[in-house]
């Protein structure tokens, strides 16, 4: 896997293979051959395991489509070379999976990715231009470093949620998380969240050494998300104007990709795997890189190609979720992460580490080797056996004790939610709000009813404009100058607001600040500056001001903070803790067992499941009931009755 990853990662930044053979291309080809031969050498004497063929078939179909598309666009050689590289990756993965269990293969892949990324980061560093973490040898792009870090994080979370973690994992997890944030990749940072949620929800068991730190970290995470600018700064890259339009630039290329093609052949079969850029008409630049795996699949393989890629992912998720097998939760999380990341990043259907990782997750055997041997047992169609077997028959006293223990756990989880809410209320920074209300009337003396009506309509028509002016830079700059604030109008605009209740001629300006006195000063200064601004603007048009503003409620110093909201936080803590407690209380009522034929069965008997006869199983879905093979009369005494 290490040789494969080294041969797959880019050795030069900003270059794409277009058919020219040089030293780098030849060396990477030789390394790929060495990796394939090594994989064959490792598994040649080992017992062979069956590897699913459908991922390789679908990928081969997609490659065939792109080769035909490249042939039509006079790029047959380059498209064929890239297709062969992808086929070599498929062969390496299938060879390793035919001789080793899926956990070992996936662990080798993640370890190889992390090793290459670590060397790249140590030989690289933060880029002077934008401060993002980039690689040196090999010159990995920050987005590639982020993707590898996310894969490592998901792998470590899988180990932690399945009882395989150790002390080294915590160190590696910290380093991977730091690299993910330092890379500045917003796509990987956002897409890892749903993948991690899937991983946690599909976890088999949590040890206390994992569960307790996880619970204790919740208030820190909540504080970082709700009351810190860390997440906002990471997503906006601290407000860098150079990156704000990156998504807009991507959509320009996507729109060009969706435009009608020059021929039906290109529409259905694409232009080949070497097509990395597309013409963008109407811009000051002529070509742009396709920063999307899915859009690239449409351009490189046409409609047939993108349908094949969708079938690969959708059917892969269906197979992984449906059948019991190794690493099911991790595979689902990994496929979800790479598929979502592919919306804004390239390489998912190319000779890249993203494809190598995704294909490995798809090609893992659907059933583990241990499970496969159990399925091959001679008595597989006789009395069912289960992954979970009771060690002894429980008594009523033990059932009562079990219920009491679960009630205790549920109560502790509820109390823990309330404690976390209390900690958030205690440690969260306070913010105060102060408001000033202005009433707008038509200027001048309005004696006739018609004048009063016209003046009222004029004021109503302008209220939306006045609301915008109340928080405009002209007003806020005046407030900053009068109060001597050490911030810009943009920063102040995030802490002030202006509203106009529908159907009224009232404007309320509100200011928020950690200091209640400062909040009052800002609100009062906003009302004053706004009252001075409107006459000046209307006088500049050559007419007298037509609207007067009168303060009907001056700004007051707030007494109680507006945030945090103690009642809301306590309600959220109680709801989350109560929900977790309810899950802990009811989870034993739904025990999952698997029969030797691979069918999942749900036992709905709670504590009495320990006394369940294996010959009578209630199957969810068809509610099939298997009759007991032996009937034993039950003799009870009067006292027992």
What does the pLDDT read at residue 152? Answer: 95
Pair of tokens at residue 232: 């906002």
Pull the structure tokens for residue 212: 């307790």
- Residue 427, SS3 per DSSP: helix
List, as one string, the DSSP characters of 291-330.
--HHHHHHHHHHHHHHHHHHHHHHHHHHHHHHS--TTHHH
Q: What angle do CA 246, 233, 489 make, to 5 degrees?
A: 95
Mean pLDDT of the chain: 78
For the segment 135-187, what is each residue's pLDDT rounded down to a tens digit? 988 999 999 999 999 999 999 989 888 777 777 888 898 899 999 989 988 88
CB-CB contact of 263 with 238 (8 Å)? no
pLDDT number for residue 40 = 94
Torsion from C-alpha of 177, 332, 258, 235, nearest 10 degrees: -20
- Please report the pLDDT score of residue 32 as a whole number: 94
* Tens of pLDDT, residues 559-572: 888 878 888 888 88
Of 421 and 318, which is predicted with more confidence? Answer: 318
pLDDT digits (tens, 9 = 90+) for 428-439: 778 889 999 988
* Confidence band, pLDDT 50/70/90 cuts, at residue 90: very high
**Residue spans of beta strands (DSSP E) within 237-300:** 277-279, 287-289
Per-residue model confidence (pLDDT) at position 612: 41
Distances (CA, A) of 304 to 4, 66, 314: 29, 9, 15
Q: Work out the pLDDT band at 398, boundaries 50, 70, 90.
A: low
Mean pLDDT, to the nearest integer, of 187-210?
Answer: 81
Model pLDDT, residue 145: 95
Reported as a single tens digit per residue, the pLDDT across 294-314 is 999 999 999 999 999 999 999
DSSP 8-state class, residue 627: P
């Amino acid at each position: 896997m290490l040789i494969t990853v080294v041969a797959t990662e880019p050795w030069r930044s900003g270059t794409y293979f277009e058919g020219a053979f040089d030293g780098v291309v030849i060396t990477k080809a030789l390394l790929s051959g060495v990796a394939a031969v090594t994989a064959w050498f490792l598994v040649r004497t080992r017992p062979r395991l069956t590897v699913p063929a459908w991922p390789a078939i679908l990928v081969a179909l997609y490659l065939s489509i792109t080769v035909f598309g490249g042939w039509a666009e006079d790029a047959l050689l380059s498209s064929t070379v890239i297709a062969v590289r992808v086929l070599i990756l498929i062969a390496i993965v299938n060879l390793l999976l035919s001789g080793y269990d899926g956990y070992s293969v996936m662990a080798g892949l993640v370890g190889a990715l992390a090793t290459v990324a670590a060397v790249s980061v140590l030989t690289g560093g933060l880029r002077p231009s934008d401060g993002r973490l980039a690689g040196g040898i090999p010159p990995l792009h920050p987005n590639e470093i982020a993707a590898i870090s996310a894969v490592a994080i998901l792998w470590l979370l899988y180990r932690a949620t399945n009882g395989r973690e150790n002390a080294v994992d915590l160190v590696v997890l910290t380093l991977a998380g730091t690299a993910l944030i330092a890379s500045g990749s917003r796509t990987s940072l956002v897409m890892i969240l749903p993948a991690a949620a899937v991983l946690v929800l599909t976890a088999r068991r949590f040890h206390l050494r994992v569960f307790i730190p996880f619970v204790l970290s919740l208030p820190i995470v909540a504080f970082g998300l709700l009351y810190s600018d860390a997440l906002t700064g990471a997503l906006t890259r601290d407000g860098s104007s150079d990156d704000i339009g990156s998504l807009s630039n991507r959509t320009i290329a996507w729109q060009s990709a969706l435009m009608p093609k020059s021929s039906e052949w290109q529409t259905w079969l694409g232009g080949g795997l070497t097509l990395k850029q597309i013409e963008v008409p109407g811009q000051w630049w002529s070509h742009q890189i396709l920063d999307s795996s899915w859009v690239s699949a449409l351009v490189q393989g046409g409609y047939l190609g993108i349908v094949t890629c969708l079938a690969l992912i959708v059917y892969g998720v269906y197979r992984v979720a449906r059948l019991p097998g190794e690493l099911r939760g991790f595979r689902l999380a990994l496929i979800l992460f790479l598929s979502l990341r592919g919306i804004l990043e390239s390489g998912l259907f190319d000779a890249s580490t993203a494809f190598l990782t995704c294909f490995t997750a798809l090609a893992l055997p659907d059933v583990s080797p241990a499970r496969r041997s159990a399925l091959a047992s001679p008595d597989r169609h006789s009395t069912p056996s289960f992954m979970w077997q009771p060690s002894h028959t429980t008594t009523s006293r033990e059932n009562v004790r079990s219920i009491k223990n679960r009630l205790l756990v549920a109560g502790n989880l509820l109390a823990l939610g309330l404690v976390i809410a209390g900690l958030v209320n205690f440690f969260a920074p306070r913010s105060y709000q102060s408001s000033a209300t202005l009433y707008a009337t038509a200027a001048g003396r309005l004696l006739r009813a018609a004048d009063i009506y016209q003046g009222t309509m004029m004021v109503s028509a302008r209220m939306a404009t006045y609301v915008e002016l109340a928080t405009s830079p002209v007003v806020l700059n005046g407030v900053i100058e009068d109060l001597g604030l050490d911030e810009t109008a943009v920063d102040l605009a995030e802490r002030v607001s202006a509203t106009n209740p529908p159907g009224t001629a009232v404007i309320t300006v509100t200011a928020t600040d950690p200091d209640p006195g400062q909040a009052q000063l800002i609100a009062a200064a906003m009302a004053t500056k706004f009252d001075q601004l409107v006459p000046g603007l209307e006088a500049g048009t050559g007419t007298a001001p037509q609207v007067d503003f009168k303060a009907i409620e001056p700004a007051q110093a707030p007494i109680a903070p507006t945030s945090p909201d103690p009642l809301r936080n306590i309600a959220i803590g109680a709801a989350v803790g109560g929900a977790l407690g309810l899950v802990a209380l009811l989870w034993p009522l739904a025990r999952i067992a698997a029969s030797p034929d691979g069918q999942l069965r749900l036992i709905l008997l709670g504590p009495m499941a320990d006394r369940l006869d294996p010959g009578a199983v209630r199957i969810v879905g068809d509610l099939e009931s298997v009759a007991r093979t032996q009937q034993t009369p039950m003799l009870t005494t009067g006292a027992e009755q």
